[in-house]
Amino acid sequence: MAEVLWGIFVGPFKDIAGSPTFFVEVLIGGVAAGLMYSLVALGFVLIFKASGVFNFAQGVMVLFAALTLVGLLERGVPVPVALGLTALVMIALAFGIERVVLRPLVNQPAIILFMATIGLNFFLEGFGEMVWGSNVKRLDIGIPDESFKVAGVLVNKLELTAALTAAVLVAILAVFFQRTRIGRALRAVADDHEAALSIGIPLKTIWVVVWSVAGIVAIVAGVMWGAKSGVQFSLSLVALKALPVLILGGFESVPGAIVGGLIIGVGEKVGEVYWGPLVGGAIENWFAYVLALAFLLVRPQGLFGEKIIERV
Amino acid sequence: MIYREAGHFKSSYAADQAIFPIVQDRVFLGLVAVVAFVAVPLAANEYWLQAILIPFLIYALAAIGLNLLTGYAGQLSLGTGGFMAVGAYAAFKLTTAFPWLNMLVVFVLAGLVAAGVGLLFGIPSLRIKGFYLAVATLAAQFFLIWLFNKVGWFVNYAPSGTATAPPRTMLGVMVTGPQATASARYLMALGMVVLFALVAKNLVRGRVGRSWMAMRDRDIAAEIIGIRPLQTKLLAFAISSFYCGVAGAELLFLYLGSVETLAFDINLSFLVLFMVIIGGLGSVLGSFLGAAFIVLVPIFLTNAPHWLGLAMRTDTQKHLELMIFGGLIVFFLIVEPRGLARLWQVTKEKLRLWPFPH
Amino acid sequence: MRGPAGASEPLLEVDGVSVRFGALLALNRVSLCIPRGEICAIIGPNGAGKTTLLNCISGFYHPYEGRIAFAGRERTRWRPPDVAELGIARTFQNVALFRGMTVLDNIMTGRVLKMRGSFLLDALWWGPARRQELAHRAFVERIIDFLEIQAIRKTPAGRLPYGLQKRVELARALAAEPELLLLDEPMAGMNVEEKEDMCRFILDVSGEFGTTIALIEHDMGVVMDISNHVVVLDYGRKIADGTPEHVRKDDTVRDAYLGVAHD
């Protein structure tokens, strides 16, 4: 018993203090993983902020984007063209989703739309794998997966690129929502579809725009993930982890997606390395969710979410 | 007008609140019961029982469980697989520790264990609603699977990590284990699902069901009327997990024979959710229809190419399955959110007039 | 026009209650007393805090100062289900029926506090559970007869026209056999005929069952006709309190709400 207590409350901290450079490397690894989650969560936030729909299929969109890109690259299409084509495919997908799924379900309760995106999730998974095949693929974007030392700490080039990309994306999106007219219109749509329609906001256009942007974000996420661990089906499962990120960060907050991702990423990595061996490892499977659950009990609307005042 | 209510007057409230108030329904059900309990075990072949009927009955039970929680009480849950796993491993531990226990008792006890776990994971549901609750149930799902993976005690330290159902008899007939005939296992599953379906129907047409639906439709108004949210939600979680736990135990003992945690992963949770959505949220009949549908589609996909003289690779079949399930979910949500059960109801209403057009 | 109700200890006492949402003061030291058996109308311009007051009485909002007592019992910070058990039922401004259930089931749900029972017996639909369900059904049918909604008892509530929905909501509140009935704009959106029917029902409820009623209402004709006590709210404050005649002539009320005729 004393061993267990030691293992939880003392041992890991001693390990941390014992080799600080290693701890920093774990932290960096966590930050990098966290930013990857954030990239996926960003897509969720975009769609939720703009259409009030919780898009369960975001993870699969990431997979789909990656599959398409890799499929094109494998057939010898040059990288810039492949990226452009993939973007077109995602835009076409956005059109399709708006026409087939969103338009018929306009103003249905949120839970119905959510379940529709679950259906979409599975459909796209099957479709993507049928078209491009389901074996693991390598994705090479010209940045080597190697590490170099900065101030005595190992840093991975790929992870660094991912971090920078995420930062740039977030900045662009934040400006977009806060400063532009379209951003305002999007927020109106997210609030109430029918009301927005009735004041002349072109719902259909907005949705296509938003889902396209989310699709582009999915491409970026897909590229980063794929380059790191190969493009495969489990990518969509990993993307499921974006859900705890959203809970921490709030569903409507772009900075929240980043902060939430960082917390989850770092928490997972540190937890796994220092506390994992205590219980046999593989904590990463559930740690993010339990962390989110703990947060929900204290603050049901997430770190950055708005407190909901219920009216009768 | 074969099928009509006109001319049948109910002279008491009891008659009005009966589960099957229409005579034709009762006759139809009687026929179904005879076929199910008598004709099928005698006439059906091994394949039909093993590949179609037994899994159908087991999934139907799980679907009823999830439907009670999500369809009636409005609490979205993605943790069905985890709770089924609890039932399976609890039953395994119980029967290996107490081999003299009657299997029915084992199933019920396993269900109670699952209900307890469900109760625990349902406690957050007072503060957390909607999607957030779904994510919380994911926590339950992933944590439980990890737990059963890591802790060898649950499989009695078997090196393969699988739990294998030991042979057990009931009333002198072998019902589990390699010697149990498909007919015996079928009858056991059938008996249990019929019993629990009746119980579910009784619950939903009375006070408990109304409290759940009130919570689902307008939780604030329900509270102001006097319905206590925590008790109502916890009851839903407990009963739902009970059903899923029993179904999970049946999955191990009556269908698969031996099981790894993989059998209970998140895909199972989604599968049962699909059954509930396609079959009809908030409908016991819908749970059966949805389960039947989900069981039959892969069978159809395996065999259809043969019938058409085409060849299809197994992985293409799997992809098609995913596409069909996903596509159908979207289709049903758009066209008939109340699923197959509602389509069935509409057919019955049309039958009232058929063959007359008006 | 109704005369003053018999004097008795007040059924509901609201004393110096204030409610705040962030920086907004929705209710500002509001006090009122409703004696047993009375029909009290709460009027005032939109946003005056009338529904907030009702929500406070229901226990859905908790005031940050002041107290609320029911039948002499202090119950300021009680939660809604406990308040309901005291014998307070209500209808809502935006009709909060359970759309997925039939009218009958909606009204039966109103009876939930009177239904005690082990869910095990419920599960078996046997003995006491069955008898209890049927007894409650009989009671609910009497309410259905009283409010003349027999024809729609099996219709899903979501499919009813607005006026009928309001009537079903009243039925659901009555099913709880409340001592105090809170009605939030029960006649909003109704035509003249429907309003007359609703007035008749409200008066019948008060006359036959002796239920104390507090209602929020905008139609001054209705207020004058059926109530014997009027409370006027404006910007979260009470600005008048008395018989309908007295309130109608009050200057502050006319300025704030009723309007002054300019010749």
The full 3-state SS of chain B, as one line of letters, equals CCCCCCCCCCCCHHHHCCCCCCHHHHHHHHHHHHHHHHHHHHHCCHHHHHHHHHHHHHHHHHHHHHHHHHHHCCCCCCCHHHHHHHHHHHHHHHHHHCCCCCHHHHHHHHHHHHHHHHHHHHHHHHCCCHHHHHHHHHHHHHHHHHHHHHCHHHHCCCCCCCEECCCEEECCEEEECCCCCHHHHHHHHHHHHHHHHHHHHHHHCCHHHHHHHHHHHCHHHHHHHCCCHHHHHHHHHHHHHHHHHHHHHHHHHHHHCEECHHHHCHHHHHHHHHHHHHHCCCCHHHHHHHHHHHHHHHHHHHHHHHHHCCCCCHHHHHHHHHHHHHHHHHHHHHHCCCHHHHHHHHHHHHHHHCCCCC
Q: Does A244 touch chain B (CB under 8 A)?
A: yes
Task: Please work out, in degrees rounded to the nearest 5, the angle formed at the alpha carbon of residue A253 by the alpha carbons of A247 and A254.
Answer: 115
Q: How confident is the model at residue B184 (pLDDT cuts 50, 70, 90)?
A: confident
Q: Please, are residues A115 and B344 in contact by the beta-carbon 8 Å criterion?
A: no
Reported as a single tens digit per residue, the pLDDT across A97-145 is 888 888 888 777 777 788 888 888 888 888 888 887 767 666 666 666 6
Amino acid (1-letter code) at residue B215: M
pLDDT bin (cut points 50, 70, 90) of residue C262 is very low
pLDDT for residue B83 is more than 90: yes
Mean pLDDT of B296-303: 83
Spacing of C-alpha B63 from chain mean position: 3
Closest Cα in chain A to B274: A119
- A53 versus B293: the higher-pLDDT residue is B293
- Contact assignment for C55 to A312 by CB distance below 8 Å: yes
For residue C3, the model assigns a pLDDT of: 40
Range of weakest confidence among A86-95, B35-44, B226-235: B35-44
Task: Give the closest residue to B204 by CA, choosing from B175, B239, B248, B164.
Answer: B239
Q: Work out the pLDDT band at C118, boundaries 50, 70, 90.
A: low
Contact flag C84-B224 (C-beta cutoff 8 Å):
yes
Q: What is the pLDDT of residue B244?
A: 97
Tell me whether residues A282 and B146 touch, CB distance under 8 A.
yes
B118 pLDDT band, cuts 50/70/90, is: very high
CA distance B147 to chain A (A): 10
At residue C31, the pLDDT reads 94
**What's the ipTM?**
0.86
Residue B288 has a pLDDT of 94
Mark yes or no for CB contact C101/B199 under 8 Å: no
Give yes or no for C23 touching A (CB within 8 A).
no
C98 close to A (CB below 8 A): no
Q: B224 and C60 in contact by Cβ < 8 A?
A: yes
Cβ <8 Å between B146 and A285: yes
Closest C-chain CA to B218: C98
pLDDT digits (tens, 9 = 90+) for C42-74: 999 888 899 999 999 999 999 999 999 998 888
pLDDT band at residue C173 using 50, 70 and 90 as cut-offs = very high
Q: Which residues of B touch C59 (CB under 8 A)?
A: 224
Residues of C in contact with A312 (CB under 8 A): 51, 55, 60, 92-93, 96
Identify the closest residue of chain A to B152 by CA–CA distance: A280
What value does the mean pLDDT take over residues B33-42?
A: 79
- List the single residue in A with minimal CA-CA distance to B330: A116
Interatomic CA distance for residues C249 and C226, integer angstroms: 18
**B153 Cβ under 8 Å from any chain A Cβ:** no
Chain A, residues 113-142, CB within 8 A of chain B, namely 114-116, 118-127, 129-130, 134
Choose, out of A286, A303, A306, A307, the residue to mutate when testing the contact with B (most B CBs < 10 Å): A286
Question: What distance in Å separates residue A28's CA from the closest CA in chain C?
Answer: 40
**Cβ pair A127:B131 closer than 8 A:** no
- pTM (2 d.p.): 0.87
Which pLDDT score, from 0 to 100, does residue C1 have? 38
Contact status of C92 with chain A (Cβ, < 8 Å): yes
Nearest CA in chain B to A233: B319
* Cβ-defined contact of B266 to A237 (cutoff 8 Å): yes
**Is residue C161 predicted with pLDDT exceeding 60?**
yes
pLDDT over threshold 90, residue C165: yes
Contact B210 C130 (CB under 8 A): no
* B193 or A198, greater pLDDT: B193
Which segments in chain A show pLDDT lower than 50?
none
Task: Match 């039909």 to its residue by tokens.
Answer: B48
- β-pairing, B173-176 vs C10-21, is unpaired
- Interface B-C, measured as beta-carbon pairs within 8 A, has a size of 93
How far is the C-alpha of B141 from the C-alpha of C131, rounded, in Å?
A: 41
Q: Do A312 and C21 touch (CB under 8 A)?
A: no
Confidence of residue B136 (pLDDT cuts 50, 70, 90): confident
Question: Mind telling me how many Å the CA of A279 is from chain B's nearest CA?
Answer: 8
pLDDT digits (tens, 9 = 90+) for C242-257: 999 998 888 888 887 7
Model pLDDT for residues C1-13, shown as the tens digit of each residue: 344 444 457 889 9
Q: Comparing C151 with A202, which gets the higher pLDDT?
A: C151
Question: Who has greater pLDDT, A231 or B252?
Answer: B252
Nearest to C96 among B216, B221, B227 (CB): B221
